[in-house]
Amino acid sequence: MDVDEVIERAGPRQFGPKDDMPEEYRKAATRMIQFHANSEVMGGYLDKEFTRKAPSLDRKLAASAKCQDEIGHAQLLYRAAEALGVKSRDQMLDELATGEGKFLNCFHYPVDSWYEAPMIDFFVDGAAMRRQATLKRTSWEPYAHAMDKVCFEEGFHVKHGEDILRELMGSSKANRERTQETFEEWWPRILQFFGPTNDQSTHHDFASKTGLKTMTNDELRNAFLNAYMPKARKYGLEIPDEPRIRERDDGTYEVVEDDLNWDEFWTIAKNESDGSHEQIGSRRRRQEAVSWVRTALDAGETAGAGTTPQAAD
């Protein structure tokens, strides 16, 4: 099958491991899914921090469960990418540990307080749900199947984040002020979650033509604004003056994208920020800390190869 045939046939869950896909499609799909899987791993590390910072046992349990979910999502996605035959799961994990693997901008920033929990669990995960729901119709079937489970669980994550936001904004004046300050810091990062504007996106055209993506970055960003501007105001948050948000005549919203700091975005996307180095270094140190487990398992598998299990007495 060549690229022209892929474009002609492209549709929801159209292609799977048994199809003879062109190399260009395999590489594009691998890049896209690997990026998604890496982001799930790094999101799990943020949730680990929230487990430590959570103010109650119930919140700690919920944050811990969410962390486990995110790592589980990553495993599903690495397998969906591996099925394309371009890279192995271990290779993709190694690339993440060395800093070669890319992931979403929001997960480059270290978290300092519990007030950041709703920024990730409600707003960032809410943005993720906007994107991931469209991926149930992606053309690579293993990716779409993974999204069925991921979206189901992410829905609970968003509700968890909304409950934290409701609690903080319904409590003391000090809590409301701290939450507002944190929201103002995170708001531009959240709007950049969907990636560069359409005219700066280098991968969208091919991904769209082959059915890997079904909505543009700008469409997803605007859909998020339409859903979450009212929700932010519902809980008493004030939308920052910048980046400017325009309300159209039909009541929908759009961001003035020139107000977003795209120079910072590209620096972060290239893993050149201090926060990026801290996050990646954390991932690498943890991988090295358990290297002895992988070595022992590999040695045991080698030692047991070719032997016949003995019957029990």
> Would you write out the chain's pLDDT as a tens digit for each of its 313 residues?
899 999 999 999 999 999 999 999 999 999 999 999 999 999 998 888 899 999 999 999 999 999 999 999 999 999 999 999 999 999 999 898 888 888 988 888 888 999 999 999 999 999 999 999 999 999 999 999 999 999 999 999 999 999 999 999 999 999 999 999 999 999 999 999 998 887 777 677 899 999 999 999 999 999 999 999 999 999 999 999 989 999 888 889 999 888 888 888 888 777 655 555 566 666 677 777 887 887 888 887 777 666 555 554 4
Q: How far is CA 25 from CA 21, 137, 214, in A?
A: 7, 16, 15
182, 115 contact by CB (below 8 A): yes
How far, in Å, CA of 46 to CA of 90, rounded?
22
Whole-model pTM: value is 0.86
Q: How far is CA 184 from CA 121, 191, 243, 292, 296, in A?
A: 16, 12, 10, 43, 48
What pLDDT, on the 0 to 100 scale, is given for residue 273? 54
How far, in Å, CA of 275 to CA of 107, rounded?
9
In a domain? residue 306: no
In a domain? residue 148: yes
In a domain? residue 245: yes
Task: Write the CB contacts of 181 (distance below 8 Å, at least 6 apart in sequence).
Answer: 115
Chain-centroid distance of CA 119 in Å reads 14
What pLDDT, on the 0 to 100 scale, is given for residue 25? 96
Chain-centroid distance of CA 224 in Å reads 15
Peptide bond just before 309 cis, omega within 30 deg: no
Range of the domain at 64: 3-297
Helix (H) or strand (E) holding 245: strand 245-247
In a domain? residue 309: no
How far, in Å, CA of 173 to CA of 126, rounded?
26
Buried b (16+ CB within 10 A) or exposed e, 109-134: bebeebbbbbbbbbbbbbbbbbbbbb
Domain count, the chain: 1
In a domain? residue 307: no
How far, in Å, CA of 121 to CA of 162, rounded?
8
In a domain? residue 158: yes
Helix (H) or strand (E) holding 110: none
What CATH number has the domain bearing residue 182?
Answer: 1.20.1260.10
132, 7 contact by CB (below 8 A): no
The C-alpha angle with vertex 224 and arms to 221 and 228, in degrees rounded to 5, equals: 140
In a domain? residue 156: yes
How far, in Å, CA of 293 to CA of 283, rounded?
16
How many CB atoms are located within 10 Å of the residue 277 CB? Answer: 13
Q: How many residues does the chain have?
A: 313
In a domain? residue 153: yes
Backbone angles phi, psi at 19, to 5 degrees: -85, 145
